[in-house]
Copies of this chain bind each other. A is one copy, B any other.
Amino acid sequence: MSAEPHSVGYSAGESFSPDGIGYRIPTEADAESSFRDIAESAEAHRRRGGGQIVVVQGLGFVGSAVAAAVASGSDEAGRPLHYVIGVDLATPASYWKVAKINDGEPPFRSPDAKLPPLFREAVQERENLRATTCEAAYALADVIIVDVHLDVEDRVVQGAEEIRVGLASFEAAMHTVGRNMRADALVLVETTVPMGTCERVVLPILREERLRRGIEEPVLLAHAYERVMPGPGYVDSILAYRRTFAGVDKASADRAREFLSTVIDVEGHPLWELGDTVSSELGKLLENSYRAANIAFMHEWTLLAEKIGINLFEVVDSIRVRSGTHDNMRYPGFGVGGYCLTKDSLLAQWSAANLFGVDTELGMTLAGLRTNYDMPLHTLELAEEVSGGNFDGKTVAVCGVSYLAEVADTRNSPTETLVDGLLEKGARVRVHDPHVVTWIERPEIDVLQNLHEALEGADGVVFAVPHDAYVNFAVEDLVALLDGDGFVVDAQNVLTDTKAQLLHDAGRRVIGVGKGHWRAARYDVAK
């Protein structure tokens, strides 16, 4: 496998990882040849007895980590319990993940220090994790974990009827599984799917493909949604966290329980079985919709707090002491990004109409999603206000591209909305993030890693992510680097009142999301 560094971009026959390394996509013959090794190792593992052969379909942010996590389990003698094969497509968009894993590296950057050794040990030392593009892998599996991509076409919709779910590639993946799987293999769907998908999409496809092969036994099919969290607890969020699951029948549920119990620390984190897969699928969607709605709820109170001159962070802190009822109240913020909170409600609404044919509207839920999408535009308004309403020829440093502090994940980052708005209004934009080397979604925009360079001589700065590098940045340096009457927009509670006061005293204009007290006459700060 070649691994020469290249600049980002696709070319025929090559697949580029986000860190700019290009991998030559193998021909079918090459792939099959290298797969023979994998198949031999897997069969040897099976002959030794004990664990199972587990195939993970889809090596994205979740699937790759799940593959390494499943491979990390050992039997009582300390030998690898399961043999894990990750499968993804031989395409420019996907193949690099296969290559990375076979090099013993995690495909995705993460602040979790546990992740790199998990891959290195499984691939290079324990030798029970491999990746391939060969469909033949599914035929080896005792358990097939489905972690393939399933997304909406557009996250910004005005109404339920505009939601489009790209189910075709997911269905194609299920056909592949059905064409290859053993009769008694368990298919465990972990992908976040519209509720009803297991019963109404996966099950018919698997039955059809199996019948074509003469397999009449009932399909063993279960759903167990992950709660993977990017950040320092990435691995533990798979192995040491509560997991909900359900089977399409009792035999499926039993097999799922048995398998999950070999992977997850179920002593500390008992499994939760639901009565049907629709409930389990809905659980994930509801869980994330709840979080998204709570964020949206706080936004309208943020706008109010700014107008009546109070510090909403302080108020939320005082309310969060009510544990069990109010301690999850969200703070004022910049927006919502990531893969899940920005789309899962849409999957639920789509499923109601398209998988169940029922007429129901998740009105408050969808309205919240739109609020969250528009939220960064409020920060843009604050920037306009504090900059005097004119960005022409002004240089604005936007600090933070990832959608969460201390992670490198830029999927659906609200920073994109802000940057687009600033550019549209004529600003020159410098983008900075200590964790993001390449902004995958906007490769034409350079991301600076040096904060001094980003700030020096800028007319203004927007703190869009509360990375430690910003929270800990010396305010004296900020004063020195910013232009004489420069402005600071704090969209993420990055500055203390003391720092805001210092900036104000030094002639810099300061404004903040949820920081009404910075302009209220009853406070000294920046009034």
Which residues of A come within 8 Å of B, CB atoms? 195-196, 227, 242, 244, 272, 274-276, 278-279, 282-283, 286-287, 289-291, 293-294, 296-297, 300-301, 303-305, 307-311, 314-316, 318-319, 321-322, 324-329, 348, 351-352, 356, 358, 360-365, 367-368, 371, 517, 522-523
Contacts and interface: CB of A to CB of B under 8 A. Distances in A.
Contact of A326 (B290, B311, B352): B290
A309 B364 contact: no
Given A315-B274, A324-B328, A329-B290, A300 B360 contact: yes
Contacts of A356: 307-308
> Which 10 A/B pairs are nearest by Cβ-Cβ distance?
A307-B358, A279-B310, A272-B318, A244-B318, A242-B321, A308-B356, A325-B328, A283-B315, A287-B319, A304-B360
20 contacts: A195-B308, A227-B322, A242-B322, A274-B314, A276-B522, A278-B308, A278-B309, A283-B319, A290-B319, A290-B326, A290-B329, A291-B326, A300-B364, A301-B365, A304-B352, A307-B352, A308-B351, A308-B352, A308-B358, A364-B368
Contact of A318 (B274, B296, B311): B274
A303 B352 CA distance: 11
B304 A297 contact: no
B364 A297 contact: yes
A361 B244 CA distance: 38
Contacts of A321: 242, 272
A290 B289 CA distance: 15
A37 B461 CA distance: 68
Contact of A319 (B286, B351, B361): B286
B300 A363 contact: yes
B368 A322 contact: no
B367 A300 contact: no
A310 B278 contact: yes
Contacts of A327: 324, 328
A303 B242 contact: no
Which of A296, A301, A329 has the most chain B CB atoms closer than 10 A to its own CB?
A301
Nearest to A286: B301
B318 A283 contact: yes
Q: Which of A244, A278, A291 has the most CB of B within 10 A?
A: A278
B364 A315 contact: no
A504 to B, nearest CB: 17
Contact of A297 (B272, B309, B365): B365
A287 B322 contact: yes
A275 B371 contact: no
B325 A326 contact: no
B244 A279 contact: no
Given A279-B310, A360-B303, A361-B300, A325 B291 contact: yes
Given A297-B365, A304-B358, 17 more contacts: A242-B321, A244-B318, A244-B319, A274-B315, A274-B318, A275-B517, A275-B523, A276-B517, A278-B308, A278-B309, A283-B318, A283-B319, A301-B362, A308-B356, A308-B358, A327-B328, A364-B368
A362 B308 CA distance: 14
A415 B151 CA distance: 43
Contacts of A286: 301, 315-316, 319
